[in-house]
């Protein structure tokens, strides 16, 4: 059970104070009856709610795909930098979604945001082996020895041995290379630190896929959209939550 004013506020119908005034005016109905108390307890998944002539479409969770821009941090709050949550419109921000994992401040590309804690946990846990695909530009030539190192598990600067990763060379020249990297985990600065461990530097990094979802190329950097039902179904299946 939840308070009526909290439910309506989370769905973007106004602040608690504004909703209290709406209720006082008698324009909010629950199961066909006018409600006079904004703190009235309801089951939003079972109750039929109307605000004026508009039927309230209740949903508990929100699922977003963002094309994260450079210079924005993957966090809900930061003292110094703009956050990905700060890019959301009010109608989505009220759900208080949080990033699924993180992308470095200067890394761009596919970032998922949701307030579904169970799905978030499954997607970032190495136990569920959800793959993340990155496109990267490297400052030097990349060769078969690097592919082998990634496959066997690169040891990072702090001694941590990464899970096996797939490295695909798109093109390789002495002045620089373009590659695809597939990971099943997401340690801090992992792709950059993996290349540092083999004596190379990442000069550009973009996540292009997360599990079964590919970045929507129509999304400009800094924009986002809600996942489609089909995309959400694929994502939940990947995380072992297809029955929820």
CA atoms in the 13 A half-sphere facing the CB of 5: 15
Helices (H) and strands (E) in the chain, counts: 7, 15
DSSP 8-state code for residue 52: T
Chain centroid, CA 122 distance in Å: 12
Considering 43, 70, 104, 243, which one is annotated as catalytic? 104
Q: Read off φ and ψ for residue 201, nearest 5 degrees.
A: -125, 140
Nearest to 101 by CA among 93, 113, 109: 113
DSSP 8-state code for residue 161: B
* Cβ neighbours of 174 (radius 10 Å): 7
The reply to whether 43 belongs to the active site is no
Q: Which residues are part of the catalytic machinery? A: 104
């Amino acid at each position: 059970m939840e308070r009526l004013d909290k439910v309506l506020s989370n769905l973007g119908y106004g602040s608690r104070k504004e909703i209290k005034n709406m209720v006082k005016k008698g324009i909010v109905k629950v199961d066909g009856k006018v409600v006079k108390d904004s703190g009235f307890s309801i089951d939003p998944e079972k109750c039929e709610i109307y605000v004026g002539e508009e039927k309230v479409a209740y949903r508990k969770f929100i699922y977003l795909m963002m094309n994260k821009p450079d210079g924005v941090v993957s966090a809900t709050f930061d003292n110094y930098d703009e956050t990905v949550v700060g890019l959301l419109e009010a109608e989505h921000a009220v759900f208080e979604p949080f990033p699924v994992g993180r992308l470095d401040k200067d890394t761009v590309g596919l970032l998922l945001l949701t307030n579904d804690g169970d799905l978030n946990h499954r997607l970032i846990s190495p136990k569920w082996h959800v793959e993340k695909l990155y496109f990267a530009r490297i400052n030097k030539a990349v060769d078969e020895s690097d592919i082998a190192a990634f496959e066997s598990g690169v040891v990072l600067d702090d001694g941590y041995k990464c899970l096996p990763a797939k490295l695909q060379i798109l093109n390789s020249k002495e002045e620089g290379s373009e590659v695809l990297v597939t990971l099943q985990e997401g340690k801090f600065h992992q792709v950059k630190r993996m290349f540092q461990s083999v004596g190379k530097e990442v000069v550009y990094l973009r996540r292009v896929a997360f599990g079964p979802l590919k970045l929507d190329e129509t999304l400009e950097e800094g924009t986002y959209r809600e996942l489609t039902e089909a995309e959400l179904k694929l994502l939940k299946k990947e995380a072992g939550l297809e029955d929820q």
